[in-house]
A = this chain, B = another copy of it.
Amino acid sequence: MTTESPHRFLRACHRLPVDQTPVWLMRQAGRYLPEYMKIRQKAGDFLSLCKNPELATEVTLQPVCRFDLDAAILFSDILVVPEAMGMNLHFSVGEGPILEPVLRHPADLDRLRRVDPEDQLGYVMQAVDSIRNGLDDKIPLIGFSGSPWTLATYMVEGGSSKTFSYIKGMMFDQPQLLQQLLDKLSDVVADYLNAQIAHGVQAVQIFDTWGGVLGPREFGEFSLRSMQNIIQKLHRVGPKGHPVPVILFAKGCGSHLELMAASGCDVVGLDWTTDLGLARERVGGRVALQGNLDPAVLYASPERIRQEVRQLLHAYGPYPGHIFNLGHGMAQDMDPERVVDLVSAVREESRLLFGGQVGSNG
């Protein structure tokens, strides 16, 4: 299997040398961009935007047009998967997502159907086709899904939660029921990501947004295990014979880094609470690392942004296998101009870093 992609982002995923550190930003398409807000208004509501392949393509490409990024990420929402499985999804203003009817009892699981991604999630596949077309292979497209644990939290709680009382009650008292749900989700997510790969995404990221609310043992049993099941089922070679790297991002899970690095993924995404230099030593070259600037650095001045970027690049050092990203997504009150500063800083400072390394070897 050749891993010699010309794309900086894909090369870094495979820990191959690059001329500069590739950079993309979680939630790089979104409400902080005025051009996104225009399309969002046109679509009517958030979910309609996700389901409209033409408009989803447009918002996916917006940050790529505006900034000098090394990858695009499919614009969608993790909760389209539970909807495709038969739950009702809507987004209430100010309250976040609502999924109903909630899953609490064994019989509730029978209502969930196995998804044909080409059918119930056909609009996502159309968007992938159309985005790949729009990108014209200038930069790669990343597909994604929520992790089974993260999806299950919304399906059992009925939406967002602070205490996770129902799903944790289930985890402690009906662990087998929860595992059944996670197994169903693993199957669906694997099919969904494989369909995205078949349609041309060049990497996939699994988002475990809520893995960090679990204790160490429970993270292994209820979140990581199901992500490993998915990774084993993925077609890691795309339709044109290129390898498709898998990125695993689990927020608040820095202490489980070694476990994640051994999961079979190619890249571990880190939030900003983990020291990137120590993380590189801890994974010992088994995986590439993605991250992990505190998104709040974007509230700072251009000078300070550059200083933080430089510090982070030097913390990782002049080694292959670093993809620059934020430790979490862009927030809606961020200034797009600061993203310009951030991306140029990554470009320039990483060229200096790699240049310095070449010099010190010569």
- The interface of chain A, by Cβ under 8 A from chain B, is 163-166, 168-169, 171-173, 212-218, 252, 254-255, 272-275, 294-297, 299-301, 304, 308, 331, 333
> Are the CB atoms of B333 and A275 closer together than 8 Å?
no
A294 to B295: give the CA distance in the assembly, Å. 28
Do A308 and B163 contact each other (CB < 8 Å), given the known contacts A255-B255, A255-B273?
Answer: no
> Are the CB atoms of B163 and A333 closer together than 8 Å?
yes
List 12 other contacts, CB 8 Å, given A165-B296, A171-B296: A163-B296, A164-B296, A168-B296, A168-B299, A169-B300, A172-B296, A173-B300, A215-B275, A215-B294, A216-B274, A216-B275, A254-B255
A308 to B168: give the CA distance in the assembly, Å. 13
Count copies of this chain in the complex.
2
A250 CB to closest chain B CB, in angstroms?
A: 12
Q: Sample 10 A-B pairs with CB under 8 A, ordered by A number.
A: A163-B295, A163-B333, A169-B300, A173-B300, A173-B304, A217-B275, A218-B294, A252-B273, A254-B255, A255-B273
A79 to B218: give the CA distance in the assembly, Å. 34
Q: Which residues of B contact A299 (CB under 8 A)?
A: 165-166, 168-169, 172
> Are the CB atoms of B274 and A172 closer together than 8 Å?
no
Instruction: Using CB atoms, name the residue of chain B closest to A303.
Output: B173
> Are the CB atoms of A273 and B173 closer together than 8 Å?
no
> Are the CB atoms of B172 and A308 closer together than 8 Å?
yes
> Are the CB atoms of A216 and B273 closer together than 8 Å?
yes
In this complex, which of A215, A299, A304 has the most chain B Cβ atoms within 10 angstroms of its Cβ? A215
Partner of A252, one of B166, B252, B308: B252
> Are the CB atoms of B294 and A168 closer together than 8 Å?
yes
A163 to B215: give the CA distance in the assembly, Å. 24
Partner of A214, one of B171, B252, B273, B308: B273
A301 to B175: give the CA distance in the assembly, Å. 12
A177 to B252: give the CA distance in the assembly, Å. 29
> Are the CB atoms of B274 and A169 closer together than 8 Å?
no
A272 to B333: give the CA distance in the assembly, Å. 32
A274 to B308: give the CA distance in the assembly, Å. 28
Do A173 and B216 contact each other (CB < 8 Å), given the known contacts A255-B273, A296-B165, A331-B163?
Answer: no
A346 CB to closest chain B CB, in angstroms?
A: 17
Q: Which residues of B contact A254 (CB under 8 A)?
A: 255
In this complex, which of A172, A213, A216, A255 has the most chain B Cβ atoms within 10 angstroms of its Cβ? A172
A215 to B275: give the CA distance in the assembly, Å. 8
Instruction: Using CB atoms, name the residue of chain B closest to A331.
Output: B163
In this complex, which of A164, A299, A301 has the most chain B Cβ atoms within 10 angstroms of its Cβ? A299
Instruction: Using CB atoms, name the residue of chain B closest to A294.
Output: B215
A173 to B305: give the CA distance in the assembly, Å. 9
